[in-house]
Amino acid sequence: MEPIVTITSGAIRGRTEAGVTRFLGVPYAAAPVGPKRFQLPEPAPAWAGVREATEMGATCAQTPYPAYAEALIGSDGIPGDEYLNVNVWTPDPGATGLPVLVWIHGGAFTRGCNAKPIYDGTAFARDGVIMVGINYRLGVSGFAEIAGAPSNRGLHDQIFALRWVRENIAAFGGDPGNVTIFGESAGAMSVAALIAAPQTAGLFRRAIMQSGNGVVAADPEDARKVSAALAAELGISPTAADFGKLGPAELCAAQNAVGLALMTDPDPERWGTSVIRLGGGIMSLFPVTDNDIVEGPPTEVLRAHPDRAVPLIAGTTADEFRFFTVPAGLAAAVTADALPFVLTRYGIDPAVAQAYSAERPDATPAEIFNAVLTDLTFRAGTYDFAEANAATAPTSVYEFGWPTALPGLGACHVLEIPFVFDTVKDAHSLTGTTPPQSLADEMHAAWVSFATDGTTGWAPFTTDEKNVRVFDIPESTTVTDPRPTELAALRQSIA
């Protein structure tokens, strides 16, 4: 079956299989090419006749992940200019009032797309929820702070996509008043920024943050240091006019070179304190304070504007940082002698290791390092944002605790995604060959319930009682304020 729906730009033809209809690669904005790469998004041009929407659309230009990450999650890259597109999965385009989930992918603001098999929205549509996956500008195109260009173009794209959803989702059977945004990693950091942004009122009702935080907002002067390095690499001035003359291949090459330089020489004097502290040596290009859509770090903005809070799920995996160190071989280099040095590199008092070692007497130095960095980069910032949100809106917090079968990775970054999407069959390179389907059933059902009516099935996280749902087998449990001693020691060490 090939149903046709009409949206603001024209008619599109999708495809129905097993009771789920897909509309793929649908432009929500004009192609951001040439000088437009560094301008605000514009409406997609209208088309005549019926446009085919049965194949995945283009993705923002990017380079492959490092080999270790590519082996786990694959790389992305579908050529084409119309990469500001959405994929829509719906149980029935002829329905009315269906709940809607809008997915914002991760990838450190430099990689990723809406076309990954583990982001397939079939299971959500199967269970009565329309799912929309969006693309947005990445890297230099989306987040370089350059003269003559608006800041945070990638976030502007996300807001533009949400406005597209509000205007068009009824054509797919959805309720524009019952939209939940959700994202992972950079996508979760985007969700935090969108909650805090004054321009998003009325665009979504609820939100889910998976493995992000509420602190990412670079100082504009620091961000311009990164852009100056990009311009120097390219032999141009750091202006929109000069950057706009270049193609995506040149921009990606410079982006990679600068990212590598930042990782190997994380000098705050060279790159700016906020870039090093917030990017963790992993991200060089990410949202910047612009006094517009990003008024400051999202947690601080939310504390100042509690009326912007929305019903929220926020959480992390138990061993986030192992994803970045174990398969790359970096964890093996963290010996007892090296541990104080690498903690200092991240601005952490090495004495914090004693508190973590006391709680984990059998842990190796590498495991202590990864536990500290997991809390620094993800858990502390997630809890802080959740606490700010809980002051005025229902808030639920989770931890994904099931360890992958792959050696040493534990419950690492990205691992919860195929369980949320119920796509574990497509994620064996990350989960191993026998992931527990029962855990996917449980997590997926919780996300469906939250998107439908705001319920989660576990006790809320409040300013007085920090309840956390730990997803694991043989059964999930709800605990109050897990590992408080470690988190308190970390906070003191970076104060």
Residues marked active site are found at 185, 320, 413
Q: What is the DSSP string of 360-416?
A: -TT--HHHHHHHHHHIIIIIHHHHHHHHHHHTTS-EEEEEE-PPPSSTTT-S-TTTT
3-state secondary structure of 296: coil
What is the Cα–Cα distance from 462 to 394, expressed in whole angstroms? 8
What Cα–Cα distance (Å) separates residue 72 from each residue in 61, 150, 209, 299, 426? 21, 35, 22, 31, 11
Place of tokens 């919780």: 446
Nearest to 381 by CA among 435, 316, 450: 316
> Could you tell me the two tokens for 189?
């950091």
Round to whole Å and give the CA distance between 447 and 456: 7
Task: Give bridge partners of residue 102 from the DSSP assignment.
Answer: 132, 181
- What is 193-232 written as a DSSP string? HHHH-GGGTTT-SEEEEES--S---B-HHHHHHHHHHHHH
Contact of 439 with 427, CB cutoff 8 Å:
no
Listed residue (389, 372, 419, 445) closest to 191, CA to CA = 389
Q: What distance in Å separates the CA atoms of residue 216 and residue 378, rounded to the nearest whole number?
A: 11
Q: Which residues contact 157 (CB under 8 A, 6 or more apart)?
A: 29, 41, 84, 134, 135, 136, 137, 142
CA distances, 255 to each of 58, 231, 477 (Å)? 20, 10, 43
Distance CA 255, CA 281 (A): 14
The number of CA neighbours under 13 Å toward the Cβ of 32 is 27
Burial class (CB within 10 angstroms; exposed 0-12, middle 13-18, buried 19+) of 92: middle
| CA angle in degrees (0–180, nearest 5) for 277-280-281 | 115
